[in-house]
Amino acid sequence: MISRHQHKNLDWVDLESPSGEEIASIVDEYDIHPLIESELLKPSERAKVDLYPNFMYLILHFPKYTTNKDKESLQEIDFIVGKNFIVTAHYESVNALYDFSKAFETNAILNRFDNLDNAGILLYLILKALYENMEREMDAISNMLRDVEKKIFAGRELEMVEALSSINKTLIDFKHPIQIHKEILNSLEIAPESFFAPKFKHYIQATIGEYQRIWGRLESNKETVTDLRETNDSLFSAKTNSIMKNLTIMSFLTFPLALMVGILDMKSEGNPLSGVENQFWVVLSIMGTTTIIMLLFFRHRRWI
């Protein structure tokens, strides 16, 4: 599907799951190198940037937050940036790009783009919108971490083991595709200013600033996950040790008492309680006294 947007002499063509015929028509219209046509037909495994005489070709992968473990959590966007045109291509709907296109149409109609006279500036605006969307996703993960923190200190440590693992997996899915973005963005600074806007480097540096803010949020969330996991493990271990301690004390109390009852209940000659009146109550008293003595001993040794 081809969507076209225009502002003054600047064209933006957005391709969503494009067919071969649609790609061929755009390649012919903007005199794009045939090698790019084959690149656009299928997703690419790695990000890259290539400079051609009349345009720049850029591939970036953007993570997307999803709770469906079977659903792809990565979105590829290809950018072909000429002096007065930009082509974006992707293989599924990208919500942030769709929202930006609506805002772009509105601002173009209202003539709010005073300095938008070059595709390099439009590239900055698109990347800024994509990074802002990622920042909102980072906000959602931060809120999840605050909720997990409350539940940890509410005594739900076992439940939070899986929750923390899930959040950590999401952060890993975010980190892998965007860690190469800085290298790609830095390489854009070598693009000739005569080809793009005179202040193109300024916009690239601003884009790098947007990226670094996202990376900082990502690292902060990763550190929070690590801290919460350590806290959760410590609390869970302490609770487990306390339970095991209580079970050990109970076992230590019940075993000798059970042994005592078994011996005193034996029907054999020489049993001191054999034939004694109220034998049940006598045995019960002995057991109670023994239990109290053992508990006092444990308390004296500070075992309980």
Across the strands, what pairs with 60? 77
pTM for this structure?
Answer: 0.72
Q: How many CB atoms lie within 10 A of CB 44?
A: 12
CATH class assigned to 2-237:
alpha beta
Half-sphere exposure of 77 (CA within 13 A, CB side): 23
**Do the Cβ atoms of 136 and 128 come closer than 8 Å?**
no
Task: Report residue 71's pLDDT band, with 50, 70 and 90 as the boundaries.
Answer: low
Q: What percent of the chain has pLDDT over 90?
A: 0
Torsion sign across C-alpha atoms 194, 200, 202, 208: negative
Nearest CA to 177 out of 79, 76, 58, 40 is that of 76
**How many Å apart are CA 17 and CA 240, to the nearest integer?**
53
Q: Bigger pLDDT: 285 or 192?
A: 285
Q: What is the mean pLDDT of residues 34-42?
A: 83
CB 253 within 8 A of CB 262: no
In the sheet that 48-51 helps form, which strands lie side by side, from edge to edge? 2-7, 10-16, 85-90, 74-81, 56-63, 48-51
β-strand partners of 10: 7
3-state SS class at 117: coil
Q: Are 64 and 91 in contact (CB under 8 A)?
A: no
User: How far apart are alpha carbons 241 and 235 in whole angstroms?
Assistant: 10
Q: Residue ranges of the domains in the chain?
A: 2-237, 265-300
**CA–CA distance, 304 with 295 (Å, rounded to integer):** 8
Judged on CB neighbours under 10 Å (0-12, 13-18, 19+), 59 is buried
Higher-confidence residue of 123 and 244: namely 123
The helix (H) or strand (E) run that includes residue 85 is strand 85-90
- CA-derived radius of gyration, the chain: 34
* pLDDT at residue 229, rounded to an integer: 83
Question: What sign has the CA pseudo-torsion 108, 111, 113, 119?
Answer: positive
- Quickly count helices (H) and strands (E) in the chain: 8, 6
Q: Provide the 8-state DSSP code for 272.
A: T
Q: pLDDT tens digits, residue range 8-37?
A: 778 888 888 888 888 888 888 888 888 888
| Alpha carbon distances (Å) from 78 to 14, 89, 224, 243 | 10, 5, 33, 56
pLDDT tens sequence across 75-129: 888 898 888 888 888 888 888 888 888 887 776 554 555 566 677 788 888 888 8
